[in-house]
Amino acid sequence: MERIILHSDANSFYASVECLYRPEIRSKPVAVCGDPEERHGIVLTKNQVAKRFGIQTGEAIWQARQKCPELVVVPPNYPLYLHFSEMLREIYEQYSDRVEAFGLDENWLDISQEGRSFEDGVAIASEIRERIREELGITVSIGVSDNKIFSKLGSDMKKPDATTALPQSSYEEKVWPLPVSSLLYVGRKTTKKLMQVGIITLGDLANSDTEALHSLLGKNGLTLKAFALGLDHSPVMRLTAEAALKSIGNSTTPPHDIENADDAECIYYLLAESVSARLRAHGFTAKTLSISIRDTELRTASCQCQLCPPSNITDDLAKTALCLFRARFSASFPLRSVGLNCSSLMPDTLPRQQDLLGVSARMDRLESLERSLDSLRARFGHQIVQRGVVMRDKAFACVNPKEDHIIHPAAFYMG
């Protein structure tokens, strides 16, 4: 049976939804941005009109307005975007029971079926695009291939509202001339390493020396070469956007720079409150914790360690984050922003190993207490109960990382 994999990517997702609900801005350059008053003023996504001015995701609002003084800036409305993500999935599931989310605005579909040809798959992709445009009022671009990696590549090749087919017979002609950075999982650092040894295009990667590539990138290099050859046999899993989460994290740019250790402790407790609450809400504990920093020159750094035992308790996350921070970044002040991320997620229904020192019993008590706090905050707001440590600075105490600064999967920002 011929494999037919679609990758559907909602075009300029945030901005498209905002323009749908605000007809008066549809013909104008629009960017969905964080709050500049809270120093979160960066572009999260932009519409097609704004793209013509060269506005880039991730740049500051003032930079975007230098390129386009008439730019319309709107704040993000996450609940609305989640609602549209669910409606998109409802349409996809009418074509396949194998739909795998890659963030909120991207999904793979496996529509392989006995007797169905690749050309039938292309026709189905176009039908899905038309339905989304007519029923939801937004557009998607869809890539069609025999594997997930190239279907994702196809959806990126032509935007907006397009179907791009990449059958096996077209790899050498359509795929190999593309820059190596266009391949999924090839980031900036990997791109730089590959270009330093003359691997510029996907064709170069596909035809590179295996041993040299392994020496340069390790096992990851061999995987990327296989991807460039179209040798991706990974299945499309039935995953919702929520289930597709591989990590849960948060970062914040506070109202003023983080100047000292007390400021860092305050902010990391705020972030730990947010991340631990989301871990509990999704039914997870975490085995790995990482922290990141960004200084006032916008240089970034990060490090990580293991949580033993796995935890979703605020105090555990905050104290571990602070230990990492003191060991690695205590001389890095002032800082513009910091982040905390938990990965290697495990279901919180797994039994805890009992011990003679009472660690397990302590964690049970703390988790029960924090779930009670979750309930209170759900009813009366996140700041109805606050820790003393976050009250040291009134400006920091007003930060609400749980509701205001949710970090979505990276794919959410690729539109």
Output the six-digit token pair for 359. 């660690």
The whole-angstrom separation of Cα 274 and Cα 56 is 28
Tokens 């293991």 locate to 306
The CA-atom distances, in angstroms, between 86 and each of 4, 155, 242, 247, 413 are 23, 20, 11, 20, 17
Structure tokens at 156: 């990126």
Nearest alpha-carbon partner for 274 in 337, 328, 341: 341
Please provide the DSSP assignment of 83-134 as one string.
HHHHHHHHHHTTT-S-EEESSSSEEEEE---TT--HHHHHHHHHHHHHHHHH
> In degrees, to the nearest 5, what angle opens at C-alpha 194 toward C-alphas 190 and 195?
115
How far is Cα of residue 177 from the mean position of the Cα atoms in its chain?
Answer: 28
Q: Give me the catalytic one of 18, 100, 106, 370.
A: 106
Helices 261-282 and 359-380: crossing angle in degrees, nearest 10, is 90
In DSSP notation, 345-410 reads: EEETTSPPPP-TTSHHHHHHHHHHHHHHHHHHHHHH-GGGS--GGGGSSHHHHT--HHHH-BPPPG
Distances (CA, A) of 408 to 250, 257, 312, 378: 9, 24, 18, 20
Q: What is the sign of the dihedral through the CA atoms of 218, 190, 146 and 132?
A: positive
273 is catalytic: no
Distance between CA atoms of residues 28 and 13, nearest Å: 16
Residues belonging to the active site: 106
